[in-house]
Amino acid sequence: MEPIDIGLAVTGGLLVLVVLGMRVAFAAGLAGLVGLIWIFWSKKNYGGGDFLWALTVATKTAGQVPHSKVSSQALSLIPTFILIGYLAYYAGLTKALFEAAKRWIAWVPGGLAVATVFATAGFAAVSGASVATSAVFARIAIPEMLKIGYDKRFAAGVVAAGGTLASLIPPSAILVIYAIIVEQDVGKLLLAGFIPGAFSALIYGLLIVTLALSLKNFGPPVSGFTWRERFAALPPALPIVFVVVTIIFFVYNPFGGDAWGTPTEGGAIGAFVVFLMALWRGMRWSEFKDALLETAKLSVMIFTIIWGVLIYVRFLGFADLPGAFADWITSLTMSPMLILVCILLAYAVLGMFMDAIGMLLLTLPVVYPAVMALNGGEFVSAEESTFGMSGPMCAIWFGILVVKMAEFCLITPPIGLNCFVVAGVRDDLSVQDVFKGVTPFFIADAITIALLVAFPWIVLWLPSQV
C-alpha cells in the first residue's frame, strides 16, 4: 500500500474508535502509533523479522512526542487560564458582576436581560467555562428576571446563550490550543478574539432591546439607581475587567510602545489578582485544594489530547494525508467561499456530538492545511490570496470562526449542553423550554457568524495593529 492509503485506512480506524466511545486522546495516539508501525513496516515490504524493528522505531518515535511537545512556554498559558477560571468562583465575582451590570445598564428596554448577558459574558470570559457559567447565572439571574415578569423560557435562554461568550474574549484556553496546533502566534489570536466576542455580546444586547421594544408583556426596565449606588457596585467587579485588560496589554500596548510582557505573564498576573480576591473573600484550604484539583484535571485532559493528537500528526506527516486532502479541496470547482462555509457547517454538525476541544484537535491537522491551501498557501500575500488576506491573517480568521462555531453548538439541539444545564438548575423548566427560549440567540449567532465571514476585518483589525 502507498503511504496515502495507509493514512486513509488508519484515519478510518480512528473514526471507528472515536464513534465506539474510546477516549479521543488515546484513540488519536493509538491511531498514530499503529500508523507509524504500519508505514515503517511497509518500507521493509512487511518482512517477517522486520515487524519488531518497525514496532521499536515507531514506539520510540511516538515516545518522544509527549515530553517534547508539552514542554513549551506557550502551552503554559492553558493551565494558567484554567486556574483563573476555577479561582474565579471563590472570588465572589458572579454576584458582584451581576449587581454592577444591573445598576449600570438595566434601565434600557429589556434591561435586566441585557445586564444578564453582559454579566454572563464577563464571567464566562474569565472563567472560560461556558457550561458552568450558565449554571451559576441560572441561579443568580433567572429568579430576578422572573420576579419582574420576564417569560421564564426567555430568561433561561438569555443565561444559556450568555455562557457561550466564554471562549472568544481573553483569556481563552481554546484559542491557545488552536494557535498551538496550527503553529500561529498565540498573542495575536488572543487579541483577535476580543472584538468578535464583544461584538457577539453586543448583538445579543441589541436583540434583547429590539424584542423588548416590539413585544408586549416583556419585562420592564429597572431604573432608579443613584450614581452613588452605581459606583459602589464597581469595585467588587473590577478584577474581571482587570484580568481581560491585563492579558490584552501583555500582548499589545494600545498606547504605543512595547507590550508589557508575554501572554503567559499576563495570564499569571490575572490569576494572581483573582487568587488574592478569593483569599480576601475567605477561600479556605479545602476550597483552594478543590480549585487546584479541578485545574489539574482539566489541564491534564487537554494536554493528553494535545500529545495524543500530535502522535497522530507525526504519522500524518509520513502519510501526507493533509497534503492530499488540501490538493483535493483546491481542485474542487466550487467557489472557495462556498467550500469554507461548508467546512464551517460541518463543524456545526460535528459540534452537536463532541466537545469543542476534542473536535478541533481531531480535525484541525487535516482541515487547517486545506483551508490555508484554499487561501493560496501559508505564505501567500494579501493581494494574491483568495480571501483577500495574508496566510497568518487567514489562520487567525479561520480560528475565530471555528471557535465561534463550536460555541454555537452549545445552544443547538440535540445536545446543547448549556441548555441542559440551565434546565438542570431550574426545576420549573424543561430542556425544550430552554431550547425555545434560546432560539432568538441562535438566530443572532447565525447572523454574527455570517457577518464575521463577510467582513473579516472585524476579526483582523485588532491583531493587525501588533
Residues in 409-438 at the binding interface with another protein, rule: CB under 8 A? 415, 417, 420-421, 423-425, 431
Residue 294 interacts with another protein (CB under 8 A)? yes
> Which residue, 47 or 63, has its beta carbon nearer to another protein?
63
C-beta separation of 276 from 72 below 8 A = no
Of 41-49, 231-239, 295-303, 326-334, the segment contacting another protein by CB under 8 A is: 295-303
From the CB of 226, what's the least distance to another protein, in Å? 28
> Which residue, 26 or 455, has its beta carbon nearer to another protein?
26
d(Cα 163, Cα 165) in Å, to the nearest integer?
A: 5
> Which residue, 184 or 299, has its beta carbon nearer to another protein?
299
Q: Residues of 104-118 as b/e, b for ≥16 C-beta within 10 angstroms?
A: bbbbbbbbbbbbbbb
> Which residue, 97 or 462, has its beta carbon nearer to another protein?
97
From the CB of 192, what's the least distance to another protein, in Å? 23
C-alpha grid cell, residue 33 = 502509533
Interface with another protein (CB under 8 A), residue total: 86
d(Cα 231, Cα 238) in Å, to the nearest integer?
A: 11
Residue 279 interacts with another protein (CB under 8 A)? no
> Which residue, 135 or 400, has its beta carbon nearer to another protein?
135
> Which residue, 53 or 455, has its beta carbon nearer to another protein?
53
d(Cα 374, Cα 124) in Å, to the nearest integer?
A: 33
Of 166-174, 301-309, 390-398, 456-464, the segment contacting another protein by CB under 8 A is: 301-309
Residue 245 interacts with another protein (CB under 8 A)? no
From the CB of 288, what's the least distance to another protein, in Å? 9
DSSP letter (8 states) at residue 461: T
Residue 323 interacts with another protein (CB under 8 A)? no
From the CB of 213, what's the least distance to another protein, in Å? 33
- Considering only residues 9 to 48 of the shown chain, the ones binding another protein according to CB under 8 A are 17-27, 29-30, 33
User: At a CB cut-off of 8 Å and minimum separation 6, what does 417 contact?
Assistant: 130, 131, 410
C-beta separation of 111 from 222 below 8 A = yes
C-alpha grid cell, residue 268 = 499569571
Site string for another protein, 326-355 (x = CB under 8 A): ---------------------------xxx
Q: What angle do CA 21, 180, 404 make, to 5 degrees?
A: 70
Q: Where are the alpha helices (DSSP H) in 351-412?
A: 356-375, 391-408
Among 1, 47, 52, 59, binds another protein (CB under 8 A): 59
Of 199-207, 282-290, 364-372, 398-406, the segment contacting another protein by CB under 8 A is: 282-290
Closest by CA to 38, choosing from 20, 50, 24, 28, is 50
C-beta separation of 186 from 180 below 8 A = yes
- Considering only residues 134 to 173 of the shown chain, the ones binding another protein according to CB under 8 A are 135-136, 138-140
d(Cα 320, Cα 215) in Å, to the nearest integer?
A: 56
From the CB of 437, what's the least distance to another protein, in Å? 16
3 state SS for 234-302:
HHHHHHHHHHHHHHHHCCCCCCCCCCCCCHHHHHHHHHHHHHHHHHHCCCCHHHHHHHHHHHHHHHHHH
User: Cell 518500507 maps to which residue?
Assistant: 43
- Considering only residues 85 to 104 of the shown chain, the ones binding another protein according to CB under 8 A are 89-90, 94-95
**In 10 A of CB 296, how many CB atoms?**
14
3-state DSSP assignment of residue 404: helix
Of 130-138, 149-157, 193-201, 393-401, the segment contacting another protein by CB under 8 A is: 130-138
User: Cell 486532502 maps to which residue?
Assistant: 325
Among 83, 251, 319, 452, binds another protein (CB under 8 A): 83
Detail the DSSP E strand segments found in 199-293: none
Residue 293 one-letter amino acid: L
Residue 382 interacts with another protein (CB under 8 A)? no
**In 10 A of CB 23, how many CB atoms?**
15
Site string for another protein, 356-375 (x = CB under 8 A): -xx-----------------
Among 148, 229, 297, 349, binds another protein (CB under 8 A): 297
